[in-house]
Amino acid sequence: MADAPSSGIVSSGIPTEVNPGGPNARPSRVQTPSPRPRRPEGAPTPPRPSPRSVGIPDVIPRERNEKASRVLNVAIAAIALVIALPVLILLAIAVKLTSRGPILYAQTRVGLDRRWRSTLALHERRLEDLGGQVFTIYKFRTMRMDAERGSGAVWAQENDPRVTRLGKYMRKLRLDEVPQFWNVLLGDMNIVGPRPERPSIVSRLREDIPGYQCRHRVKPGITGLAQINQNYDACIDDVRSKVDWDLRYISEQGIWIDLKILLRTMPSVLLKYRGW
């Protein structure tokens, strides 16, 4: 920005000896700026672009038949719960008998961001932007009751010492995730999609990883491209890689790719391949 002229100094473009109203008057080189238009009273203030949006990839979800996708998700979730009901009952009894605490583990997660489009952002009413609509996710409890007393919210590790003896085997077969089919029936999740995270983790990762917020433009899922193509997170670079897989899914989402991911999920779970 140029320094402001000091008092009493006139621009060299206008001779000082010329009378502005005389015959030797020259047109001034300094143009008076036109007044800014005033916004009508009561009109909403236009949103200002966020500095964080600079350089962030803008991933638009691929259009698909949402009604057909919803029917497919509800059908798969309902069939899975009915088939797994005897196993769920046995697991519930085993969890109760082997460790102190509740059978199910309920936790707040960040889901679909319904206001990511700029046209909807003008009607934003949320007092705090958590990245998406929060919901309660359900899992079988696999950790001790005091697992986060000293550490707070941290990522789960592959050989997490906080996990109970039964929880270790449940995690190997992903049996602790089965109650999330109930979240699919409620409409909070899909079978396939980016894995949901806790609000505190989302707040941290969307500051560190460009494009992380784009994950919330679709519903979260139980499994996804990241889970069948990558191992557990060991560092922030692993999280960036998983975000790349999630963004790829969002740009290619559809019923057929969902079915392909489902067919690859079961071998991944049973054979401990990649992220499962």
125 found inside a domain: yes
Q: Which domain holds residue 232?
A: 62-271
**What integer pLDDT is reported at residue 245 of this predicted model?**
94
> Cα 104 to the chain's mean position, in Å?
24
Residue 67 has pLDDT above 90, yes or no: yes
Residue 247 has pLDDT above 50, yes or no: yes
**What integer pLDDT is reported at residue 6 of this predicted model?**
42
Adjacent-strand bridge partners of 143:
163
Whole-angstrom distance, CA of residue 269 vs CA of residue 276: 5
Residue 195 has pLDDT above 90, yes or no: yes
Total tally of structural domains belonging to the chain? 1
Whole-angstrom distance, CA of residue 70 vs CA of residue 207: 32
7 found inside a domain: no
pLDDT band at 40; cut points 50, 70, 90: low
136 found inside a domain: yes
Taking each helix axis as running N to C, give the angle between helix 255-271 and helix 66-98, from 0 to 180 degrees, rounded to the nearest 10: 20
Alpha helices by DSSP H, the chain: 66-98, 118-121, 165-172, 180-186, 199-208, 225-229, 236-252, 255-271
Q: CB neighbours of 186 closer than 8 A, spacing ≥ 6?
A: 135
pLDDT tens, residue by residue, 213-240: 999 999 999 999 998 988 777 778 889 9
242 found inside a domain: yes
Q: Are 81 and 7 in contact (CB under 8 A)?
A: no
217 found inside a domain: yes
117 found inside a domain: yes
**Greatest alpha-carbon span in the chain:** 104
Q: Quick one: which H or E segment has residue 136?
A: strand 134-140
